[in-house]
Amino acid sequence: MVSLKIIVPCYDEEKTLDIFYNEISTALNNLNNIHWSVLFINDGSKDNTLQIIKNLSINYENIEYLSFSRNFGKESAIYAGLENSTEDYVLIMDADLQDPPHLIPEMLKNASMGYDIVSTRRVSRKGEPIVRSFFARVFNKLINLLSDVEIVDGARDYKLITAEVKDSVLGLKEYNRFSKGIFQWIGFKNKWIEYENIERSAGETSWSFWSLFKYSISGIISFTTAPLHVSTIIGILFAIISFILIVIIVIKTLLFGDPVDGWPSTISIILFVGGIQLFAIGILGQYISKIYLEVKNRPHYIIKEKNIDNK
Ligand code: UDP
Ligand code: MG
């Protein structure tokens, strides 16, 4: 008998939770030798999500929940879920059925064959806004170019991990969490399962373009310091070029005098260099703001209500 905990971050998911529970029950109930339970993490939903989770937990005994005092974000919800799991296996899954439950048996099979992490990736993005797919691809290319961890295109947070992997992930206590990077960074034996994109069962995505943009920047900043080096290199390059130019100008003035032209080019160079300086300072600022949040050492989340008491 193996035990499995399914961690489900929920933000405004009142429309999806009943269907979700039915679907995973169907997928799991005809499996032998498995004892499974679900841990819903209500991430400060504004709708009736908590009430629906409570109703479910009254009807079914394998349901646990944590409810945050406000919206802390999906990454914090995943962290809370991992901290409150003691099972042999942990499965991270979205509430909206975009992570197909029919893959669970295959994931468990791979885990029993010795894989520590069984991850999933979408091979298509059909049904997703084109602009969003485009920027998602650009982001992937950028982070793979700049950092040591490799982010697989279409990779989901939907994954099955062993207790050992879970402990390793919890060992990375950073405040700015980027799961896709973290799961790559820790290593272990990883198996990928592929599937076609599925649209949300109900409700709406809670990610705006802006929130995804901020999350992407934060992902890059969390896993690479390359941008800091880029600004150093550009700075050195400009110092060298301007030094050469100054030497040329001095020689030219000595030889030919100083006719008053070249004003536009001077201004444009000043603006250009100024722009680059601001860019470099901006990058510095990004890192410093992350360091600021890390040193404050705040908790990842605050629990207001729950029906479990291991932590
Ligand atoms: N989610 C969360 N907190 C948030 C935003 C989202 O816990 O602040 C949950 C959400 O309920 C869902 C999962 O994270 O279970 C994925 O969210 P969503 O479906 O909105 O994202 P998408 O699939 O569009 O990337
Ligand atoms: Mg979704």
Which of the ligands is closest to the CA of residue 12? 1
Q: Work out the angle at residue 171's Cα, subtended by the Cα atoms of residues 222 and 286, and round it to the nearest 5 degrees.
A: 15
- Check the CA dihedral 72-74-78-81 and report its sign: positive
3-state secondary structure the chain: CEEEEEEEEECCCCCCHHHHHHHHHHHHHCCCCEEEEEEEEECCCCCCHHHHHHHHHHHCCCEEEEEECCCCCHHHHHHHHHHCCCCCEEEECCCCCCCCHHHHHHHHHHHHCCCCEEEEEECCCCCCCHHHHHHHHHHHHHHHHHCCCCCCCCEEEEEEEEHHHHHHHHHCCCCCCCHHHHHHHCCCCEEEEEECCCCCCCCCCCCCHHHHHHHHHHHHHHHCCHHHHHHHHHHHHHHHHHHHHHHHHHHHHHHHCCCCCCHHHHHHHHHHHHHHHHHHHHHHHHHHHHHHHHHHCCCCCCEEEECCCCC
CA 32 to centroid of ligand 1, rounded, Å: 31
The band of 311, judged by pLDDT with boundaries at 50, 70 and 90, is: very low
Which of the ligands is closest to the CA of residue 49? 1
* Model confidence pLDDT, tens digit, residues 145-166: 888 788 888 888 999 999 999 9
Q: Which of 81, 10, 56, 44 is CA-nearest to residue 305?
A: 44
CA–CA gap between residue 165 and residue 121 (Å, rounded): 19
Q: What pLDDT is stored for residue 310 in this prediction?
A: 53
User: CB of 85 within 8 A of CB of 5?
Assistant: yes
Q: What pLDDT is stored for residue 134 in this prediction?
A: 85
Q: Is 185 left (phi over 0), alpha (psi -120 to 50) or beta?
A: alpha
% of the chain beyond a pLDDT of 70: 97
Please report the atom of ligand 1 found closest to the CA of residue 12: 11
CA 296 to centroid of ligand 2, rounded, Å: 31
CA–CA gap between residue 299 and residue 83 (Å, rounded): 12
Distances (CA, A) of 71 to 54, 55, 103, 300: 18, 21, 29, 11
* Model confidence pLDDT, tens digit, residues 101-138: 999 999 999 999 999 999 999 887 777 788 888 888 88
CA 205 to centroid of ligand 1, rounded, Å: 6
Residue 33 has pLDDT above 90, yes or no: no
Q: Which of 146, 151, 139 is CA-nearest to residue 229?
A: 146
The band of 93, judged by pLDDT with boundaries at 50, 70 and 90, is: very high
Give residue ranges with CB within 6 A of ligand 1.
9-11, 13, 43, 71, 73-74, 77, 94-96, 98, 205-207
CA 96 to centroid of ligand 1, rounded, Å: 8
Residue 302 has pLDDT above 60, yes or no: yes
298 is written with which tokens?
């705040």
CA–CA gap between residue 308 and residue 311 (Å, rounded): 8
Residue 17 has pLDDT above 90, yes or no: yes
Beta bridge partners of residue 35, listed in sequence order: 3
Mutate to test the pocket of ligand 1, among 74, 75, 92, 126 (most ligand atoms within 8 A of CB): 74
Rounded mean pLDDT of 231-257? 81
